[in-house]
Chains A and B, each alone.
Chain A
Amino acid sequence: MANFRQFRPDDLNKFSKCNLDPFTETYELGFYLQYHAKWPSLFQVAEDQHGNIIGYIMGKLESSPDYYKFSEHYLPWHAHITAVTVAPEARRLGIGKMLTEQLEAAADANDAWFVDLFVRSTNHKAIQFYKSMGYSIFRTVKDYYGDHSSDPTKSSEDAYDMRKPMKRDVKKEHIRENGEKFEVDPSDVW
């Protein structure tokens, strides 16, 4: 069972179900608080009946700096999913999907053109999950990750920059077909 609501700093004392899972990164306090301070509606949690956090999503709203405006890599006002996690006991119930939907609702409320996220190109499960929610690959960021999740002989891994257009993008100007073929360097990614 779950309840969904905005993150509160006290939730950090109830993060164990998510953050003791080895696939969930734990950040410094300032990192969580920065998201809560700047984009509270894009930091959502799912809690169980005891108040334990069993899933959360952190996102932000931003655009590339103005001096980047004439670059082909300029990003207009959009929401970005920084982290999403669901505790092992709460998986396969659609909690990740619901958290993402709530972030998308907040993105729409803030007039974002699209929501984007980065995912390892070998993380097929996650890619499939996002595709099922309407996300598509916009570009491939070569050697974005400094390690490889499944091949220890490799020192890097590509990322897919995935996007989903929001209500503002009526003409679907910010997505494209065959996005994986558009390769960019990490330095092109703001």
Chain B
Amino acid sequence: MSYGRYGRPALKNSVDVQLQTAFTDSNWNTVIRLADKRFKTLKDPYYEAIRIAAESQLDGTTERCTALIAIDELVKSKAVPDYDTLELLEWAARDYLYDTEYAETLGPLRARWVKANPKSKFSVKCLQSCLEYWDLVSAQQIATTLDKAFANSGDRQYMFWSITLTYLLSVSPQCSEASKKVYSLLVVKQLERAADITENAEKVESKDRGLLQEEEISLYYRVMLSHGSKEDFISRMQSPKLGPLAQLKEGRKDLFYQALNAYESWGEWDRIYDLCRQALRLGLDGVTPTFSVCDYKVWKKFALAASKSKDQETALGEVQSILKEFIALKTNTAMYKKNIALALLDTAFRQPEVPGSSGNDSGVTPRVIQIGLYLDSYFDKLSAFDDVKDFVAELSFEEVKGLMEEVLPKMLEEKSDKSSQVILKSLICKLRYLLTTCTQTLSHNASVVDGQEQDKPYQCRLCSTLTSLPCESCLRSVVTEAAQIYQQIVDDSELLAAIPRLDKDPRIDLALVMGNSILKLSGLRPRTSDVAPAPLRDVNPSLFLQAVLVLDTQLKVTPSDVALRLLLAQLYLLLGCASYAYQIWTPLEVKRTIQDSLSPLFFDRISSLSPGLFTGTRPLMEPLRSYYNNSLHSSCPLRIWDAFSSGSYSSILEMTEFDSKLRRSCTLMMSIVEERRATRAFGGKIECEIGDLALTENIDDTTTLLNKTDYGSFVNLESPHGPPIQEFLRIGPELSNERAHLSFLSEQYLDLIHHKPPKDHRPYKPSEAALKERAYTFETLSQLNNSLTSFIHRPTTPAALTSPEATYYTIISLLSAAVLTALSTTRADPYPSETMSVITSSIRTAFTGLRTRFTSSSSSSSSSSTNSTNGVDETFYSLTDMHTLSHVRETALAMRHSAAFVQAWNDRELARDRSGKSTLHKDGLAELKALDAMAAKTITEVKGHIQKLKEQLGGGGWLDKMLDWTFGGAAAEGTTEGEGEGEKTAKVRKAVEDVVGGREGAEEWVGKVVESWGQGVKGWGLVRME
């Protein structure tokens, strides 16, 4: 009998045609009748199973459960079931059998059957079935039975299935802690025994029970690393047959890396040194191909290990000697040459003494010379900056000067062709930007003078000006220089013609340097605490807009540049232009498998920024939803049977781990929550409570949800001393376990208070049903309150939330407590006034704080007053902080709906129990009504605010207004800035104007920005406020 997972099994050949036909035609009533008749005549229980399977296909609830009941009876009977009966029943129960039930019913039945028929060809099918339901306990039992049955047959597969499943069980939650220990010991012993057979045999044959294939040895390494002791592992790695070096000779590089990584995690540097040295020698001697050993990782670990050696000088000498031998090899490809060049650089930085810091006046130390040599060879490669960035950041100040004032200018002089010159110049610009993020370029000045705190507590050692962090003078110089080189390229047709032949268009790098520098000058900083103001509140809007304009202009020239597109999508989200950000995001084609790691870059918090995006023709989250549904539809890791049947044991472990992580993805939770919030915003129907979704069924408070956002494609010009670029660009902190849990719990709370029983629901015993509902509601509220409180008070939580989010989740937590208290206090009970007062006053205080943050901008925006410092009116801040408005609305509605929920509860109690004894205490009702009134007032303000924004955007004069905001109008110029500052700002503005083509060049861009703001506000106009 063979069928796909849910394919209908074929009946036994012995079954008559009439019954076969009825079964094939899904003529279930006929099947039931005929099967029953045959059973009575033939007394063959198989016909009874056919009858049950057919009955399970009928619509009635009782009939549908027949297969489950039959399976239960089989489990209890202890008899060995018939295989075909099992197949039929498993198929019949397919829609009602949850994985846990399978592990208690069909799984053990399958295991029982295999034990009785170990050599049957169907045994493997039984194993496959157990794996499909991820019933590891039964699967391991079956694999062990198969291993024993075929121990002498030479079929190694069963032995390794058994070992692999024992290992999986030893790390699975399906196994008790005590059993985990037993299985851990067992799997180690099994593999040690297999390893010993290999060690002691002259030659391992495929019939032996030793380790032979790479996948088998990989399993041995992994299990020993996971469950064995460090000493055992190290001792076993010395094996001349199974040790990493022996395996490397066989071309098994993965095993070599496993050992190397293990040694590194234990700080076994002498072993790393020896292993790398011997491996590289194998490459030199031609024993193993160079691609097996010539990775940069090997060189880096080798140099690092040498630097930690007791005899550092000799060890580093050996590294250099081997490097020289590799340099002499003729067979090196460009990539290996580059790896070797980087290894030389790395070795220079591992030398014991830093010559620049030993009183040597010249900064041109061996380290600097090595950077120069590297750049001389690779300056025109796209990755050149990334390759040297960390080394440059490690230089002393004198070395920095040596590099920037001697080595690089000399290199520039030596470049004769124009293309090389501009590429090198743009690389120097990037390095200059990098140095503004390095601490060695600043020296401390007195931070307090005459009792006054100084706003410029550093002196820049490069330009000697007093500065705050980073040096604004240097950043301005970088901008003007980058703009000059940019102009040089644009004005030179020869250079423009050369660009397609280059590794990368240098204009992109220059635009990125300018953009990043101006963003820093604007005051854009990572928002790291929950008290941070709205994203652009502390930013100079003019400079921010200039930065966006420069980058946007470049994107028009080079639309296929991914890094530019990613950066701009983030910046437009910050600017409140979500629809335009979406236009920029869409061509990146983030689809299918890469969504989990890349979608957060656009979709995180999107419902709070621009719910209107969800009103498009295609549901915004559909691709994500279908990705998770397709990838996680079964509790079994996708394609796991392929790995079992192919003997890919390391793949089995990795795929299982990957599957577990995907189920705990923060992106998954984000996609569900964002969609639900948007659905609610437009009054749509939420089909299923969040806790009932298959994708969330295994998530509880103890589950650690994982953020796997991939920032790899961002161009990060920042030094390792400071935060990476993505932290400057987000609305708030990235996805996190804390935020994902809080959003999940809050949605569960909203599900509870929004729950309405179906209209046709008439309980048979209303009082009993009410008691059950009461118990369920109290229990749920209590659990939610505990969980929310616990997550909110974790020390890591404040750094994981924006300020409006922190308030929202705090208030949801407090509301759950308020509602629980109100519901559990009837009019006859003493009123817990103190508790309730603390809860409601906390809600009021938190909500007032959030409301103040919102109304301070909304009241100003209504008057369109110009911000005297920054030259923009408050409309700008309102448009760029819809996130706060969104949370004001969400919080206010949660307060209103909580009050309504309590009131409805009271009304129901009043209707049910005319005595009025079970109605709620009037003080509790009054407290919630007061919260409702407060929230209702705020909702009116939110509506008014949106209406005013709509009117303001509908008004004329936006082109001039935006150009003035960006470049500074006549009124804004020279307002509060001193003469010197104004001049400096003007230099940056002039540089920007040169690159973008002046104010005229920016007009089209202004149109797009204002249009996007308009679309965002229009979307908000459609959002329900009740």
Residue numbers of A with Cβ under 8 A of B are 1-6, 8-10, 12-17, 19-22, 26-30, 32-34, 36-41, 48-50, 52, 88-95, 97-98, 101-102, 105, 109
Contacts and interface: CB of A to CB of B under 8 A. Distances in A.
A48 B8 CA distance: 49
Contact of B643 (A21, A38, A94): A38
Contact of B296 (A12, A17, A36, A49): A49
In which size bucket is the chain B interface?
Answer: 35 or more
B63 interface: no
B373 interface: no
A5 B257 contact: yes
Contact of B642 (A20, A34, A101): A34
B471 to A, nearest CB: 27
Given A1-B339, A95-B335, A105-B251, A29 B593 contact: yes
Interface string B554-595: 000000101000000000000000000000000011111110
Contacts of A29: 592-593, 627, 630-631, 638
A2 B593 CA distance: 23
A16 B598 contact: yes
Interface in B328-387: 333-335, 338-339, 342, 381-383, 386-387
B160 to A, nearest CB: 14
A8 B653 CA distance: 10
B634 to A, nearest CB: 11
B335 A12 contact: no
B125 interface: no
Contacts of B254: 5-6
B597 interface: yes
B654 A36 contact: yes
Interface of B: 214-215, 251, 253-254, 257, 289, 291, 295-297, 333-335, 338-339, 342, 381-383, 386-387, 503-504, 560, 562, 588-594, 596-598, 627, 630-631, 638-640, 642-643, 646, 648, 650-652, 654-655, 657-658, 661, 708, 710, 712-713
A14 B597 contact: yes
Contacts of B289: 101, 105
Nearest to A38: B646
Contact of B597 (A13, A21, A91): A13
Given A40-B648, A105-B251, A26 B383 contact: no
Which 3 pairs, one residue from A and one from B, show the smallest C-beta to C-beta distance? A9-B658, A37-B643, A37-B642
A26 B713 contact: no
A89 B296 contact: no
Nearest to A21: B562
A40 B291 contact: no
B53 to A, nearest CB: 30
23 contacts: A1-B342, A1-B387, A5-B254, A20-B598, A26-B592, A27-B592, A27-B593, A29-B630, A30-B638, A30-B639, A33-B638, A36-B648, A52-B710, A88-B382, A90-B382, A91-B503, A92-B334, A92-B381, A93-B334, A93-B381, A94-B333, A94-B335, A98-B335
Greatest chain B CB density within 10 A among A20, A27, A34, A98 is at A20
Contact of A109 (B251, B589, B593, B598): B251
Nearest to A1: B296
A5 B294 CA distance: 11
Given A8-B654, A33-B639, A50-B712, A92 B560 contact: no
A8 B710 CA distance: 16
Nearest to B290: A98
A19 to B, nearest CB: 5
Given A33-B638, A38-B642, A109-B251, A15 B658 contact: no
Q: Which of B215, B334, B339, B594 has its CB near the most chain A CB atoms (within 10 A)? A: B594
B646 A37 contact: yes
A22 to B, nearest CB: 7
Contacts of A94: 333-335
Contacts of A27: 592-593
Contacts of A89: 382-383, 386, 503-504
Contacts of B630: 28-30
Contacts of B651: 36-37, 40
Contacts of B590: 20
Given A36-B655, A105-B289, 15 more contacts: A3-B295, A9-B655, A10-B661, A12-B593, A15-B593, A15-B594, A16-B710, A20-B589, A30-B630, A33-B638, A37-B643, A37-B648, A38-B642, A38-B643, A105-B251
Contacts of A101: 289, 291
A98 to B, nearest CB: 6
Contacts of A14: 597, 710, 712
A15 B713 CA distance: 9
Given A1-B339, A4-B295, A40-B651, A12 B597 contact: yes
Contact of B383 (A10, A20, A90): A90
Given A6-B254, A88-B382, A13 B335 contact: no
Contact of A37 (B503, B594, B640, B661): B640
A103 to B, nearest CB: 11
A39 B251 CA distance: 16
B593 A1 contact: no
Contacts of B504: 88-89
Contacts of B657: 9-10
B215 A40 contact: yes
Contact of B713 (A4, A13, A17): A17
Contacts of B654: 8-10, 36
A2 B339 contact: yes
Most buried by B among A9, A22, A97: A9
B333 A97 contact: yes
Contact of B708 (A13, A30, A102): A13
Nearest to B214: A41
B594 A16 contact: yes
A68 to B, nearest CB: 22
Nearest to B343: A1
B664 to A, nearest CB: 13
- Determine which residue in B215, B335, B562 has the highest number of CB atoms from chain A within 10 A of its CB, and name it: B335
A37 B639 contact: yes
